[in-house]
Structure 1
């Protein structure tokens, strides 16, 4: 997996990256996949509502893929069950290269530990095309919360266990599990309030209906910049250039709460290898464009690419990691 965003090339990723240069590999993939070219519109399913980080990145990427493929790439928001509704829609779609999913940490590696009644397995019923992006989370609070720093928030939570609540994009989403990791690291208790996506959860944090959220940076950034919520810490290994005055979890004394979320383009299992190779090449080309990288950076995301094999390794590693968090935090959904 290769992180494309220059300001964070040295950051630790969720899986080991291969160091081969991007353009030669992309050129090889493009040449190998020249036999497949779409002849009609492609569907790009986002399993969360519009406005969240996953949706923002999918629309930026979809726009560039459309230009390169010469066919429309239409983003569809199919929500419900912490993203499972959208994922299943792609699992049940024809494996012909025309149905894509923007999978996430939550939908691909967390939900299988939480939903025992899932009728599909992301590891076997989907095929990876490429990683697409990685984002840090950011701890935000409603301005009415009397905490100016993360240490002050922890002190408040310890003084009032279970009295404050945090919003998430749904049970099992990354915006649910990253706060659970923080709770374990900081030894605090907050009530979880799940929503149908991170955008409505953030709206309720702004409104004060919930007090805290560990949202992905792309979706939280506009509210932070508008002073609608207060940012206390970012979860990545380094400070964000977009929030240079906001410390990391490690700087605040909670290194064990470090976490990065990611998104990856997936297709139904059984999709022809030629289609996957062509889509992988187009994703690489799109994310290599400086203008695309700048748009992602402005949204708080880092462009990341990978081979299908690297993506499969990432999914295995992340599935193991978040399974441990779920067990230790004793999280259950059904």
Structure 2
């Protein structure tokens, strides 16, 4: 008979192996706990609607839903530096229907900034994969007499104690970059912490500060207009939107705050089954690799990543955690 021809030459053991393989690689909802497959998946985002992370979460969720064959909804839960969103996921049922899409700060480095956090991201979250690298770019005003990092370092060293550098918040990588460069040059630059990137960029444009570091999405329009001049980017990869801009390492400067790269990643609660975590990672990585999501990630100023596994992501988090702790200690940032 035609319908059983493909299995006619299979032994019982081979047939069982094929069935087991199909279960392991089949639709994700077949692996979720009983009764949960009819619920839509929530992707909790610790940022307000309309921002780059929110936009990426929504386009990513649409693409994930195609593989999952069920709705994937984005839920914005802001407040407490991302801790509220993380707590919502940590307290959720570990059935694969509640995930967290957050940044390095909300999913890792906050551990070293807040003593009274309700959870430990390295213990209470199960990493799935990273979505993109989120490096930041250092800029000076176009009127500054410097065009590269060597000239910048000589400039701030010569005019010691006469410069201020801005950041988008206490404990941000922007603060850590400025503090490290100030120490390297012996420049004694003053840190000015703003409440977000928008006021920080405005401070650059009005001359309140002489140097700052922030996202390409916020800063590139002013680079394009000629008002701000980029000097280097953090991390080990050049940015697609600034392909001619060297990393700090390529410019000749090494240091944790300069060479480490931020990222956006996805995690679930700690008791999420390994098989479910693996399947979600596969679905997310395929979504990131799609033309639509890749284009949106690049347009937001990030670098797409689509090869991480849950095990590899967990190792990365464990390795990077002490690095962030060390950077905070060196910058004199005490946990509150």
CA contact (8 A) 2:235 2:262 kept: no
The 2-side partners of 1:44 and 1:196 are apart by: 26
Would the alpha carbon gap of residues 64 and 186 (structure 1) be closer, same or farther in structure 2, given more than 3 Å must change? farther
Normalising by structure 2, report the TM-score: 0.77
The 1-side partners of 2:323 and 2:45 are apart by: 24
CA contact (8 A) 1:49 1:197 kept: no
- The size of the alignment, in residue pairs, is 307
The 2-side partners of 1:291 and 1:86 are apart by: 26
Match status 1:31 vs 2:30:
no
The 1-side partners of 2:166 and 2:99 are apart by: 31
Equivalent residue for 1:328?
330
Shift of 1:226: 4.1
The 1-side partners of 2:162 and 2:75 are apart by: 37
Structure 2 SS opposite 1:62: helix
Equivalent residue for 1:220?
219
CA contact (8 A) 1:52 1:197 kept: no
Equivalent residue for 1:299?
300
RCO higher in structure (CA 8 A, sep ≥6)? 1
Equivalent residue for 1:264?
265
CA contact (8 A) 1:105 1:318 kept: no
Whichever of the two has the greater Rg, that structure is 2
After TM superposition, the structure 1 = structure 2 runs for residues 95-134 of structure 1, keeping only pairs within 5 Å, are 95-134=94-133
Shift of 1:122: 0.4
CA contact (8 A) 1:161 1:188 kept: yes
The 2-side partners of 1:287 and 1:115 are apart by: 32
The 1-side partners of 2:146 and 2:130 are apart by: 36
Structure 2 SS opposite 1:136: coil
Structure 1 SS opposite 2:136: strand
Would the alpha carbon gap of residues 211 and 30 (structure 1) be closer, same or farther in structure 2, given more than 3 Å must change? farther
The 2-side partners of 1:29 and 1:226 are apart by: 52
After TM superposition, the structure 1 = structure 2 runs for residues 73-152 of structure 1, keeping only pairs within 5 Å, are 73-143=72-142, 145=144, 147-152=146-151
Gaps spanning 5+ residues in structure 2: where? 1-21
Gaps spanning 5+ residues in structure 1: where? 1-26
